[in-house]
């Protein structure tokens, strides 16, 4: 569980840093990664995406305290990372984005989703009745 807590914090910080950069310096971020800088009006939808990065990052810092109580958040991040990876594979394989730009993000999506999947808390319900609770049985009619 210690490894998962650390991983959740690392993923949370990554999300927050990406969110802050996309919110306040999207042109700088995209240019430093090698992407073309979009027109200024595109910065607004990037800011909307940034808010989600920041929100998810903050949530991951919060859930890192008790991951077993927040497995849905972890499962959703696994799906997000797999969708990121699928997008990278699609846009790279169709020639829209070169591997030099997509390789690192796809690598990150792979290790993040993989570790979250293998370290996620067990969510199978336990069938132990509470103490001092009456047992209800069905009777046939």
| Domain assignments of the chain as residue spans, ordered by start | 2-119
Closest CA to 114 of 74, 87, 141: 74
Task: Give the integer Cα–Cα distance in Å for 78 and 113.
Answer: 5
Q: What is the pLDDT of residues 82-128, one digit of tens each?
A: 999 999 999 999 999 999 999 999 999 999 999 999 999 986 655 45
Find where tokens 């919110």 sit.
23
- Considering the chain, what percentage of its residues have pLDDT values greater than 70? 87
CA torsion sign, 9 to 10 to 11 to 15? positive
Q: What pTM was estimated for this model as a whole? A: 0.82
Which string of b and e fits 15-26 if b means at least 16 CB within 10 Å? bbebbebbbeeb
Task: Give the integer Cα–Cα distance in Å for 75 and 95.
Answer: 30
Task: Give the integer Cα–Cα distance in Å for 38 and 27.
Answer: 7
């Amino acid at each position: 569980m210690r490894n998962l807590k650390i991983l959740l914090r690392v993923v949370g910080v990554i999300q927050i840093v990406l969110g802050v950069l996309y919110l306040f310096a999207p042109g700088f971020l995209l240019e430093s990664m090698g992407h073309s800088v979009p027109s200024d009006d595109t910065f607004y939808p990037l800011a909307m995406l940034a808010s989600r990065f920041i929100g998810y990052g903050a949530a991951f810092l919060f859930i890192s305290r008790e991951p077993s109580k927040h497995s849905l958040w972890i499962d959703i991040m696994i799906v997000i990372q797999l969708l990121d990876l699928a997008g990278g594979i699609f846009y790279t394989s169709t020639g829209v984005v070169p591997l030099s730009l997509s390789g690192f993000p796809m690598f990150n999506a792979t290790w993040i989703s993989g570790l979250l999947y293998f370290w996620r808390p067990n969510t199978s319900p336990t069938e132990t009745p509470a103490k001092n609770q009456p047992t209800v049985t069905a009777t046939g009619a």
